[in-house]
Amino acid sequence: MRSKFIILFTGCISICLSSFGQIRFVPDDPYNLYSVGINVGYTTMYGDLSQSNPQPAFIANLSRHMSSNVIIGVELQHGTLSSTEPANRWTTGLGMTNSFNAFNVNGKVTLAEVFKNPHNIVLKALSNLYAGLGVGIIDNDLTKITNKFKVSDTATIDPDFKKSSIALVVPLNLGLNIYMKRFLGYGGAQFNINYQLNYAFSDYVDGYNFSPSTTRNKSNDMYSIFSVGFAIYIGHVDDYQ
């Protein structure tokens, strides 16, 4: 009965939130079908300006567990990106603040999928690690951006910046899940540590896209979020037997 139920549910098409997965070490240990949670952390900007300023980020998650070790989901992000360029030969200083919203879909696989039934503490610890890849979009809203290379300039650098844009992103996730069998009387919960590096198919995440004669920038922008979070599980397999 259990095998029929699992096949039925793994065949369903569902939209879920990511960053949380449940790790199990015993093959017949039942898993939860879904998990919901939140992460909080800080951002780092990799763009046209040389110095990134850590800013807060908040992530809402809902995941579909295809098995104990394979998770597919989506996530919503809201946060701030900030970076600056100190005074140098071509500017008296630049700065930007991006209040962004992002949405992405992720797939994740834990090392428990590789280390089947680990029998020592080292392999069990490694089995809690996961890696994942996804796709999504980011909506950039530059609430603050310096529009002159030098304070003394009379003209702004309009061709070289945008205050708003939308870009496709590819997120890479690396993280650790710590499963808590019981939490405050509830049947399942999880603590999560996650690092996500997002590659954007755009050079306007930080608002700037300088001409080659201005800086050495030749690449699209990237940003990362390091976060910790908490999730609870819903729809346990045992509940349906």
CA distances for 39 relative to 26, 187, 226, angstroms? 28, 20, 9
pLDDT band at residue 183 using 50, 70 and 90 as cut-offs: low
pLDDT band (50, 70, 90) for residue 10: very low
At 207, which amino acid appears? G
pLDDT tens, position by position, 205-220: 999 988 765 555 678 9
- Does residue 118 surpass a pLDDT of 60? yes
How far CA 168 is from CA of 104, 136, 204, in Å, comes to 9, 6, 11
Q: Name every residue whose Cβ is closer than 8 Å to that of residue 73 and which is 6 or more positions away in sequence.
A: 16, 17, 18, 19, 20, 61, 62, 63, 64, 105, 106, 108
Give mean pLDDT, residues 99-122: 83
Number of other CB atoms surrounding residue 3 within 10 Å: 7
Tell whether the model's pLDDT for residue 73 goes beyond 90: yes
What is the chain's Cα-based Rg? 21
Higher-confidence residue of 54 and 16: namely: 54
Which pLDDT score, from 0 to 100, does residue 11 have? 35
Share of the chain above pLDDT 70, in %: 75
* Domain locations along the chain: 2-240
Stretch among 3-12, 67-76, 188-197, 218-227 having the lowest mean pLDDT: 3-12
Query: What six digits make up the tokens of 14?
Result: 């569902």
Q: What are phi and psi of 125, to 5 degrees?
A: -65, -45
Q: Are strands 32-46 and 55-65 parallel, antiparallel or unpaired?
A: antiparallel
d(CA 75, CA 55): 19
| Residue 229 and residue 38 in contact, taking contact as beta carbons nearer than 8 Å | yes
Q: Which of 23-32, 39-48, 85-94, 226-235 has the lowest mean pLDDT?
A: 23-32
Q: With DSSP H G I counted as helix, E B as strand and the rest as coil, what are the percentages for the chain, rounded to 5?
A: 10, 55, 35
The CATH number of domain 2-240, selected from 2.40.160.20, 2.30.30.40, 3.40.50.720, 3.40.190.10:
2.40.160.20
Q: Which amino acid is at 196?
A: Q
d(CA 43, CA 57): 6
Amino acid 184: pLDDT: 56
